Amino acid sequence: MPLRIPSRSTAPARTAATGPLRACRGRVRGRVLLLLCGMYFITYLDRVNISTAAPHIRHDLSLSNTQLGLVLSAFAIPYAFFQVFGGFLADRYGPRKLLCAVGVVWGLSTVATGFASGMVTLFAARLALGFGEGAAFPGATQAMSRWLPADQRGFGQGITHAFARLGNAIAPLAVAGLIALFDWRAAFWVLGVISLGWTVLWARTYRDRPADHPKMTETELGELSADQRADERPPVPWGPLLRRILPLTFVDFTYGWMLWVYLTWIPSFFAGSYGLQLQQFALFSALVLCAGVVGDMVGGMVSDALLRRTGSLRIARRSVLVVGLLGSFGFILPTLFVHSLGVVTVCLALAFFFLELTNPVLWSIPMDVAPDHAGTAGGLMNTGFGLAGVLSPAVFGFLVDRGGSWVLPFAVSAGLLAVGGLVSLRVDPANKLPVQMR
């Protein structure tokens, strides 16, 4: 039986003193967060499995680096352009229906990748995956906006993206194991079935309104703000929203450019530069990507801690963005001049750690600025990430083919990080949209 929704004048209980881990432990909110962690983990398994299988796919389907780069970019084309529309659908119809629908799409498209017979069918399967996953993170952001208090949003985004990076780290080892046991096609079939299983679980257990969840308590519901408990959502104020989010979109583009390099080219970099075999480059790729798991957790928790200590969203969000992007830039630079496998691996791992400090903050800011329209705002922001995904893998592969070296592609990517760090100073998470009449 749904709980009674308190009046809009009811003040939410303070949760700052409890800390994020204690606040979520053993509660319905924690279970929702765990479901979202599972989604982030699975989507990144499905998203990056192709980079580990890439050397085998390229050999079997006779693809050049440029053709492979185009295939790797195929996912990001619909992913980029479905962000805003997917976020709007999440705001309009709720994350439950949206994530059920797109979960089926990305699960089936992953299975279809295993049946690809050439560049065209492989490209088509990756396009379908992009449509399926394009609305996933804006939808999840809308779900978190409904379920998480303001001072736990950084933690929520941090832990979910930590699971995404865990998916990054496990994918090379898991896919390599499946390839060794069967072949690269079987890896996509297995992971596609896992995606479909998560979709069924989400449909059975998630509720858009916290008050509708059968195990929700009055105490936990009282920790949410009146806006989070409201039924209706006001119309999207597109002009004010765009002015607040577009600087963040550019920062997300610079972040996304480097992330796509890690997700699509790092295994091939280790294989091509150091002559590593499948199990070896999968292990080195996993070690590098594991640093991102820690970065996501630390970035979200540090940002929330700064918010509780200072009460300033500008300090809590902006400082982590600047330090993360410039720190990643600093650790990429040595890889341009050093060839030692050990040193390069450590530098790439540290650069990825700093890069991922920014990720939970990037996703928290749309909830800070536009809590009623977090899905749409998150979609606008993540369009930058999607556009980076269209360009980064293809441009990176082209530069490798054109110059015969990995130095220039990494230098270009590092330069974008430095620009993103500077533009972060113009991002204002405290500039919240005015409250609208419902």
Residue pair 79/389 in contact (Cβ under 8 Å)? The answer is yes
pLDDT at 255 over 60: yes
Cα 47 from Cα 60, distance rounded (Å): 20
Amino acid identity at 105: V
DSSP-based three-state secondary structure for 300: helix
The alpha carbon dihedral of 29, 35, 38, 39 has a sign of negative
pLDDT at 48 over 80: no
- Confirm whether 436 is domain-assigned: no
Q: With cut-offs at 50, 70 and 90, classify the pLDDT of residue 1.
A: very low
Q: With cut-offs at 50, 70 and 90, classify the pLDDT of residue 8.
A: very low
Number of DSSP helices (H) and strands (E) in the chain, helices first: 20, 0
CA-nearest of 39, 21, 31 to 215 is: 31
pLDDT at position 66, please? Answer: 77
Cα 5 from Cα 202, distance rounded (Å): 24
84 vs 194, more confident: 194
Tokens describing residue 22 = 């204690």
Q: Read out DSSP for 330-393?
A: HHHGGGGT---HHHHHHHHHHHHHHHHHSHHHHHHHHHHH-GGGHHHHHHHHHHHHHHHHHHHH
- Confirm whether 262 is domain-assigned: yes
Burial 42-78 (b: 16+ CB within 10 A, else e): bbbbbbbbbbbbbbbbbeebebebebbbbbbbbbbbb
The DSSP code for 211 is G
pLDDT at 102 over 80: yes
pLDDT at position 20, please? Answer: 52
Of all helices (H) and strands (E), which one includes residue 144? helix 136-147
- Confirm whether 365 is domain-assigned: yes
pLDDT at 2 over 50: no
Tokens describing residue 399 = 């530069």
- Confirm whether 145 is domain-assigned: yes
Cα 219 from Cα 276, distance rounded (Å): 55
Question: For the chain, what percent of residues have pLDDT higher than 70?
Answer: 89
Give the domain range for residue 49: 23-426
- Confirm whether 9 is domain-assigned: no
Tokens describing residue 115 = 């049946």
CA-nearest of 76, 14, 398 to 222 is: 14
Q: pLDDT, tens digit, for every residue of 65-93?
A: 778 878 877 887 888 888 888 888 888 88
pLDDT at 198 over 90: yes
Q: With cut-offs at 50, 70 and 90, classify the pLDDT of residue 379.
A: confident
Alpha carbon 357 to its chain's center: 12
pLDDT at 207 over 50: yes
Q: pLDDT, tens digit, for every residue of 116-175?
A: 888 889 999 999 998 888 888 888 888 888 888 777 878 888 888 889 888 877 877 888
- Confirm whether 338 is domain-assigned: yes
Cα 109 from Cα 124, distance rounded (Å): 9
pLDDT at 7 over 50: no
pLDDT at position 226, please? Answer: 55
pLDDT at position 233, please? Answer: 62
- Confirm whether 15 is domain-assigned: no
- Cα-Cα-Cα-Cα torsion 90, 379, 433, 152, nearest 10 degrees, comes to 80
- Confirm whether 363 is domain-assigned: yes
pLDDT at position 421, please? Answer: 94
Q: Residue range 199-222: average pLDDT?
A: 79
Half-sphere exposure (Cβ direction) of 299: Cα atoms closer than 13 Å: 35
Tokens describing residue 103 = 């979960």
Domains in the chain, number: 1
The alpha carbon dihedral of 165, 169, 172, 175 has a sign of negative
pLDDT at 208 over 90: no
Domain CATH number, residue 130: 1.20.1250.20
CA-nearest of 404, 413, 247, 270 to 328 is: 413
Residue pair 400/66 in contact (Cβ under 8 Å)? The answer is no
End-to-end CA distance of the chain: 26
Residue pair 107/192 in contact (Cβ under 8 Å)? The answer is yes
The DSSP code for 148 is S
Average pLDDT, the chain: 83
* 25: exposed, middle or buried (Cβ count in 10 Å: 0-12, 13-18, 19+): exposed
29 vs 340, more confident: 340
